[in-house]
Amino acid sequence: MIILIFLLLLSPVRASLGDELPEFQTCVKKCDVLTCNGISKYSDVSERTLLRWQSQQQKYHMFQEPPLSWDLRLVGWDCFPNCDYQCQRIVTKDRQSKNLEVYQFHGKWPFIRVLGIQELFSTIFSIGNWFPHYWGAKMIWKQYKKEIRAGNTHFVKLYTAYMIVAVVAMCAWFFSTLFHLRDTWNRERLDYFFAGATVLSGFYAIVVRVFRLYLPENDLKRQVLAVCTLLAYFLHVGRLLRDWSYTYNMQANLACGLLQDVLWIYHSINCFNRARRSMSLKRDLLNKEINWTLTPLVLVVSVSAGMSFELFDFPPLFDLLDAHALWHFATIWPAMYWYSYMIKDVEEGLKDRKYE
C-alpha cells in the first residue's frame, strides 16, 4: 500500500495532448462561429472562410444546431461546451480510423455522452458510493440517539466523530456525481474540496478512537484536534483557491490518507491481538468472534488495491468505461462494511472494555 501511494505521489500529471491538436482547435472555432454566434472572437476568420464554413454546415450538418435538446440543458450543457464535446468526438473518431493514439482533452478521455451525462459509469458508481454512507449515517444516528438516552456522553462524542465522517462522505459523493454528470470548473472545485474534507474527517475520527479522545478527561485534546483539523482544511482550500494545483491536492490528500490508513491498520491489529484466545494464529483468524477486528485492515488494503486502477489508466472501453470509473466502483463495497464495523467496535470492544 505504501509503495502504491509513493508511486502515485511521483506520478506526473499527463498534459492533455488533445487540447493542442490544430484540428481540434480549428473544429472548436468553426463550431463556435457557426452555432454559437462566436464570430466576434476570431479576427482571423475572413468573410470568405465564413461562407465556406456555412456551406459545409448546410451540406454535412457537422455540428448540432441550437437550441440544445432538453437532456443536455438539464445536465448543464450550453453552446460552447457542446462545441468542445462535439469536436472531441469528431477528432477522436478520425484518429481511431487512422489507428492513431486516442488523446485526452482537458484532463479527461473523450467519452460518449448518454442522455447528456458526460461520464456515465463514473456518475453511476458515484451514486453507488453515496448509498452506503447514507445507510451508515442512519445506523450511526440510531446509535448516537441511544447513547444520548443512556447518558453515555463519551460514546456520544465518538459517534459524533463517526457521524461527521458519514455526512461529509455523502456530500463528497453527491458533488462527485454532479462533476461526472457534466464537468464544469465550479463542480470540479466542489468535488475536490469535499474529497479533501472526506480525508480529513476520516483522519479526525480515527485519531479520536485510537487515542481515546472521546473520554471526558481528553475533552480539551479532542477540541484542539477539531480546531486543528478545521484549520488545516481551510488552509488547504485557501491554497487551492489562491493557486490551483492538481499535484499539490493529490499529495496533500494522499499524505493525510496514508496517516489515516496507518492508524486504522494499527488499531485493527492491536484489537485483534487483544482479542486472541489461542496460541494458533490460524485458529484465531478463522474465529468469527475475533477476526472481525481485522475488518479495517481488509478494507484499507481493498481500497488501496482499487487505487491501482488510477495508475494504469487507459482509453475508455466502448468510449464509456475508464480506469477512474473502475476506481469509483472499487470503493463501493468497502464503504458498506465501515459503519457496521465502527458500531461493533464500540458495542463489543469499548463497552466490554476488551480493546482499551
**CA 249 vs CA 189, 194, 234, 256: distances in Å:** 11, 12, 13, 11
Assigned domain for 112 exists: no
Rounded to whole angstroms, the Cα distance separating 185 from 275 reads: 49
Which of the listed residues 97, 112, 130 is the one where a domain comes to its end? Answer: 97
| Residues in Cβ contact with 328 at an 8 Å cutoff, skipping those fewer than 6 apart | 121, 122, 125, 126, 128, 129, 176
pLDDT for res 14? 45
Question: Do 65 and 154 share a domain, yes or no?
Answer: no
* Dist. CA 219–CA 339, nearest whole Å: 24
Whether residue 32 is found in the same domain as residue 181: no
- Residues 194 and 321 placed together within one structural domain of the fold: yes
Rounded Cα gap, residues 49 and 53, in angstroms = 6
Q: 0.85 cut: is pTM over it?
A: yes
- Domain of 24 in residue numbering reads as 14-97
How far is 39 from 264, CA to CA, in rounded Å?
Answer: 58
Question: 231 with 193, same domain?
Answer: yes
What is the distance between the alpha carbons of residues 144 and 155, in angstroms, rounded to a whole number? Answer: 8
Q: Determine the Cα–Cα distance for residues 117 and 96; give it in Å rounded to an integer.
A: 23
For residues 53 and 201, state if they share a domain: no
Interhelix angle 323-330/120-150, nearest 10 degrees: 20
Same domain, 183 and 290: yes
d(CA 177, CA 157): 31
Residue 111 lies in a domain: no
202 with 295, same domain: the answer is: yes
Residue 102 lies in a domain: no
Domain boundary at 30, 65, 97, which?
A: 97
Q: What is the pLDDT of residue 4?
A: 39
Same domain, 216 and 145: yes
334, part of any domain: yes
Among the three residues 97, 131, 156, which one is the final residue of a domain in this structure?
97
Q: Is residue 42 part of a domain?
A: yes
C-alpha to C-alpha distance for 10 and 155, rounded to whole angstroms: 40
CA distance 144 to 157: 9
Task: With respect to residue 274, please indicate whether it lies within any of the assigned structural domains.
Answer: yes
Within-domain flag for 317: yes
User: Which pLDDT score is estimated for 220?
Assistant: 97
Cell 462561429 belongs to 33
Same domain, 149 and 231: yes
How far are the Cα atoms of 207, 227, 293 from residue 343, in angstroms, in the given order?
A: 16, 25, 12
The domain total for the chain is 2
Residues 175 and 301 in one domain: yes
The whole-number pLDDT of residue 283 equals 83
Question: Quick one: pLDDT at residue 352?
Answer: 63
Per-residue pLDDT of the chain (356 residues), as tens digits, is: 444 343 444 444 445 788 899 999 999 999 999 999 888 888 888 889 999 999 998 999 999 988 999 999 999 999 999 999 999 999 999 999 999 999 999 988 999 999 999 999 999 999 999 999 999 999 999 999 999 998 889 999 999 999 999 999 999 999 999 999 999 999 999 999 999 999 999 999 999 999 999 999 999 999 999 999 999 999 999 999 999 888 899 899 989 999 999 999 999 999 888 888 777 888 877 888 888 989 999 999 998 888 778 778 888 999 999 999 999 999 999 999 999 999 999 988 777 655 55
DSSP state of 64: P
138 and 81, same structural domain? no
In a shared domain, residues 163 and 264: yes
Residue 284, domain member (yes or no): yes
User: If you ran DSSP here, which 8-state letter would residue 13 be given?
Assistant: P
Q: How much is the pLDDT for 2?
A: 41
CATH number of the CATH domain containing 346: 1.20.1070
